[in-house]
Structure 1
Amino acid sequence: MKALFIGGTGTISSAVSRLLDEKGWELYLINRGTRNNALPDSVKVIRADINDEESVARLIDKMEFDVVADFIGFVPEHLERDYRLFKGKTRQFIFISSASAYQKPLSHYGITEGTPLSNPYWEYSRNKISCEEYLMRMYREEGFPVTIVRPSHTYGERSIPLGVHGGKGSWQVALRMLQGKPVIIHGDGTSLWTMTHNSDFAKGFVGLMGNIHAIGESVHITSDETLTWNQIYQCIADALGVRLNAVHVSSRFLALCSKDDYMGSLIGDKANSVVFDNTKLKRLVPEFTATIRFDHGIRQTVNYILEHPECQIEDIEFDQWCDKVVNALEAALKSINN
């Protein structure tokens, strides 16, 4: 079987690439070659900027694929380009959307693929919805063989998954934990969330590749494990071998006082309790089971990051912002109690 990935080196796609290599797929990637050193030797790289449509069209002119997957499509224009490039060249086109596209606020915490798509808080999610709508129209009107995959919060070895972090990643939160400083948890920490290890996600994704029953379908791929945010942060602290010093802060307050897009990533996503029903995925891929429990997976992640200094990117601005938020809450409490 022959596949082409647009992207292929991110948290999700790198795990899929590794699993396809193990299963003997012939895999091509289209990317600019900036993070290809960790790829299996068998992967063939088509070095190009996917946005240079004419150049890419020449490079793939004589090629056809069983599966093409776009991991870096974010707005409808990206998918319109993909349609022009790959119509008639693939038996299946997989678009990686996002589970954040599901209705916010949720009318029911249990999410199936039938849950409405609507997110007024996050432009990222609304753009993903528009991408899905375009592709499904191409499926209905033109027979374009689309499968839509919606990941939720998927993590790997290079970054610690969190609810609140700065623009430079999650290391600064881990560093605050190591230093014994207060760490912000949104809300009261009791809302429900799902973390999925990228190797588990890869099993579901590869099971959908070349699967005739997945054509025209939308499927989310997540773990069946549900955790509270308090449990998530405690697992991270345990993996670091430190005591968790948690400060709980209203999600809306965080959204209003941060330069980062917490209105989208919190109010439009992580502040909501979500529990995913993977019945549809398991019907399409009967062998799928997510086997990596979060407290085990996060230890692998933390150990990798501690052993690789290049993953330890400090974020002084975010660190100072955290201190301001914590100090402001303490000052407010003192003023009320005096």
Structure 2
Amino acid sequence: MRTVVIGGTGHIGTYLVPELVRLGHEVVVLSRGERKPYQSNAAWDRVELLSVDRAAEDAAGTFGKRVADLRPDIVVDLICFTEDSARQLADAVEGKIQHLLHCGTIWVHGPSEVVPTREDVPRKPFGEYGVQKAAIEAYLLGKARRDGLPVTIIHPGHICGPGWTPVNPAGNFDVAVYEKLAHGHDLVLPNLGMETLNPVHAADLAGIFLAAISSRSTAIGESFHAVASDAVTLRGYAQAVADWFGQEANLSYLPFDQWSEQVPEQVAKATQDHIGHSPNCSMEKAARLLGFRPRYSAVESALAGISWLVDNGKIT
């Protein structure tokens, strides 16, 4: 199989691309060329790397043709953020490929209502990112039903792994939160700390893409979640991290409006986004149709990134 991976040097591609090579795929990776994979692997020596500015080529209307001209059997799109971008690619490869896999987000659901959330619940997204991704999903699945586009959509939770900072127990990316837990210092959480996070290890996320490729007949025309098999509350996450550092979690709580006054605006916005969604998504469909079950729990996924932060001096 000749497989084109768009945005393949980031979180997901670090794990996905070497596995595709190992399975015998002829892999072409399109990226801006500004980032190297987070982990070295000899498989990358067998990958064709092409530097592409997708935003510029989308604006010029040439990106979809560039992908189609590579004559792929499979296209994995990891960095599509607008319906117009998805439309250009789908129109260009329609009738020419066997499988198009698109990376969405569990943010298409909006706030959790009945949990665990299934893939078939009505979409109620908020915020530009979730709204755009929901529009892409609606367009691609509509095209699958009407025109037979062989598309599968994978909706990840917050992606974790060695090499980058995972969302912390306060629902943002401030490493000082981890340092407070590491030293047994007081940590204030928003509200009662009962909102949830639903991370996924990048290796598991790559695994569900691979499962969808190998189970093409049951994957086409479907959306799947890609999260840990469990969600974790902010306070439960904080306690687990403190325990990992050999400390007690000294937690207190404030209503969000008061809590947000104590942190920078950007940090407060990140927390508001995460606790506003409070995701808790089901992985039953992936198990039933793809035979896929995540290896890492929510806390294990986060600890993979936290351990890397410690080893590389990002947490003191």
Superposition TM-score, scaled by structure 1 size: 0.78
* Cα pair distance change 1:59/1:192, threshold 3 Å: closer
Partner of 1:90: 97
Partner of 1:22: 22
Q: How does 1:49-60 map to 2 (within 5 A)?
A: 49-53=53-57, 56=63, 59-60=66-67
Q: Which runs of 5+ in 1 are unaligned?
A: 315-338
CA distance in 1, matches of 2:162, 2:183: 22
2:306 is the alignment partner of 1:277 = no
Deviation, structure 1 residue 261: 7.5
Partner of 2:147: 142
2:212 is the alignment partner of 1:208 = yes
Q: Which runs of 5+ in 2 are unaligned?
A: none
CA distance in 2, matches of 1:261, 1:118: 24
CA distance in 2, matches of 1:304, 1:62: 39
- How many residues were matched structurally? 306
Q: How does 1:93-172 map to 2 (within 5 A)?
A: 93-104=100-111, 106-120=112-126, 122-158=127-163, 159-164=165-170, 169-172=173-176
Q: Percent identity?
A: 22
* Cα pair distance change 1:160/1:57, threshold 3 Å: closer
Q: CA RMSD in A?
A: 2.9
2:87 is the alignment partner of 1:80 = yes
Q: Deviations along 1:33-61, whole A, 9 cap, x unmatched? A: 12125453322211111224366567546
Partner of 1:175: 179
Deviation, structure 1 residue 296: 4.1
CA distance in 2, matches of 1:13, 1:231: 30
Q: Which runs of 4+ in 1 moved over 6 A?
A: none
CA distance in 2, matches of 1:117, 1:255: 28
Partner of 2:34: 34
Q: Deviations along 1:290-317, whole A, 9 cap, x unmatched? A: 22234444443333222224xx399xxx
Counterpart AA for 2:167 = P
Residues 73-82 or 241-250, more deviating? 241-250
Counterpart AA for 2:47 = V
SS of 2:87's equivalent in the other structure is: helix
Does structure 2 retain, via aligned residues, the 8 Å contact 1:186–1:271?
A: no
Counterpart AA for 2:266 = D
Query: Which of 63, 84, 93 is matched with 2:70 structurally?
Result: 63
Deviation, structure 1 residue 206: 0.8
* Cα pair distance change 1:43/1:115, threshold 3 Å: same
* Cα pair distance change 1:71/1:216, threshold 3 Å: same
Report which of the two structures shows the higher radius of gyration computed on alpha carbons. Answer: 1
Superposition TM-score, scaled by structure 2 size: 0.83
* Cα pair distance change 1:72/1:24, threshold 3 Å: same
* Cα pair distance change 1:58/1:150, threshold 3 Å: closer
Deviation, structure 1 residue 117: 0.7
Partner of 1:197: 201
